[in-house]
Structure 1
Amino acid sequence: MKGARRPEVRLPPLEPYGGGELEPDGDYDGLEFTEADFAGQDGAGARFMDCALRSCALDETRLHHARFLDSVLTGIRGVGTDLAEATLRDVELIDARLGGVQLHGAALERVVIRGGKIDYLNLRTAVLKDVVFESCVLVEPDFGGARLERVEFVDCALKGVDLTAATLKDVDLRGAASLEIARGVDRLAGAVISPSQLLDLAPVLAAEVGIRVEG
């Protein structure tokens, strides 16, 4: 089992963001966004390099194909944020409060998601490599068709996970505080679970292979 490589984000001295709306294909380098309200704005294809986003609102923000590189996002919140096919590389996402965020088809590499709660996270067909979910709550995350390699769940609550058609390699679920798989239990090959998790999953595994447990 190969462990995930965590990002080592070292931000340079940052300039405060001057305000204004996000721009499609915008280029944001070495900026600090503090309590900015980007609700409903269009930043599709934008690039954020060496940036810090702190307590920003991203409700219905369009960030399709955006790139977040060597950046830290702290305390962001939003419902329906569109990050489909985005790239997150060497990123820390801390204490986020998100609902219905779209990350389908996205690429996440050397990413830590620490703290906070994300409801209905859509990671269908995404590629996750060297990603750590730590001390967070994921409600009904959808990994359908996704590829996960060197992904760790540490003190993380996983509720109603969908692994349909997902591909797992060196995925460590042993540290999850709770593990509830709604669909795709047959895709757990390539993952490591603890003995207690195996017991918890026994009814689902039995149902998957058609075993009746009676008595």
Structure 2
Amino acid sequence: MKRRRVPEVRRPEVRLPPLEAYGGGGLEPDGDYDGVELAGLDLAGQDGAGARFLDCLVRDCGLDGARLTSARFLDSVLDGVRGVGTDLAGAQLRDVEVREARLGGAQLHGAVLERVWIRGGKADYLNLRAARLKDVLFEGCVLGEPDFGGARLERVEFRDCVLVGADFGGASLKDVDLRTVQRLEIARGVDSLAGAVVSAAQLIDLAPLFAAQLGVRVED
């Protein structure tokens, strides 16, 4: 029987044009940011709900408590951003690279991520409930207690990541590649892993969870 190949994630191909330094004071609701670099700014607590970022570089900015609900990031790069409680609920990220971000409690519930490459960094308590992820690559990052409850994941790869306390409850998975995850701990939703691909070693580690889900007792 021929083994089915796991489809590769389609990575974003971001080619930023020559950028202008952002000269504005802060973010604005429904603001329009096109071809600018926002570098080293403290954007804590600012309101950029509904804003659009096209061909932008957001570098080394603080986003503590920033409100970016329903914002759109298109053909852009987020490099070294950091923030606690950043609100990106309902946001859209398409053709975006996220590099070495450090986030805590970021809210991305109901967000749409398509062709997104998340490289390095750390995110604790990442809320992706009911989000839609398609062609998303998590590479070399640490995810502590991420919440994928009710989310839809298609062609998503966790490459060389640490994934601890993950919640997949009620999620829908298709071609989700977990094989190279360095540490895989699933807190909830093992019954939703249909559509994921794991390694033989990971299967052994997950066996007690699968047995518990099926009501199978294992005794020596």
Alpha-carbon deviation of 1:177? 1.1
One-letter identity of the residue aligned with 1:138: L
Partners of 2:207 and 2:13 lie apart in 1 by 38
CA distance in 2, matches of 1:33, 1:5: 27
Q: Report the equivalent of 2:3.
A: none
Match of 2:21 among 16, 20, 26: 16
Q: Classify the secondary structure of the residue corresponding to 1:202.
A: helix
1:97 aligns to 2:124 (yes or no):
no
- Pick from 54, 65, 70 the counterpart of residue 65 of structure 1: 70
Q: Supply the AA of the counterpart residue of 1:180.
A: E
User: What is the CA–CA distance in structure 1 between the aligned matches of 2:24 and 2:123, rounded to whole Å?
Assistant: 27
Tell me the alpha carbon deviations over residues 150-179 of structure 1, each in whole angstroms, 9 at most, x when there is no partner.
000100000000000000001011011111
Tell me whether 1:131 sits opposite 2:141 in the alignment: no
> What pairs with 1:15-164 in structure 2 (closer than 5 Å)?
15-164=20-169
CA-atom RMSD in angstroms: 0.5
Q: Aligned AA for 1:201?
A: L
- What is the TM-score when the length of structure 1 is the normalising length? 0.99
Alpha-carbon displacement from aligned partner over 1:42-64 (angstroms, at most 9, x marks no partner): 00000000000110000000000
After superposition, give the CA deviation of every residue in 1:121-143 in whole Å (9 maximum; x if it has no partner): 00000000000000000000000
Q: Which runs of 5+ in 1 are unaligned?
A: none
Q: Which runs of 5+ in 2 are unaligned?
A: 1-5
Distance in 2 between residues matched to 1:212 and 1:3, nearest whole Å: 37
Identity %: 72
Number of residue-to-residue matches in the alignment: 215
Tell me, in whole angstroms, the C-alpha distance in 1 between the residues paired with 2:180 and 2:135: 16
d(CA) in 2 for partners of 1:159, 1:26: 36
1:43-98 per-residue CA deviation (whole Å, 9 max, x = no partner) reads: 00000000001100000000000000000001000000000000000000000000
Q: 2:178 is matched with which residue?
A: 173
- SS of 1:206's partner is helix
Question: Which one-letter code corresponds to 1:141 in the other structure?
Answer: P
Provide runs of 4+ in structure 1 moved above 6 Å: none
Match of 1:182 among 178, 187, 193: 187
Counterpart Cα distance in 1 of 2:187 and 2:139: 21
1:12-35 deviation per Cα after TM superposition (whole angstroms, max 9, x unaligned): 000000030200000000000111
Equivalent-residue separation in structure 2 for 1:30 and 1:21 (angstroms): 16
State the alpha-carbon separation in 2 of the partners of residues 106 and 143 from structure 1.
11
Specify the code of the residue in structure 1 equivalent to 2:33.
Y
TM-score (norm: length of structure 2): 0.97
More displaced, 22-31 or 170-179?
Answer: 170-179
TM superposition shift of 1:214: 1.1
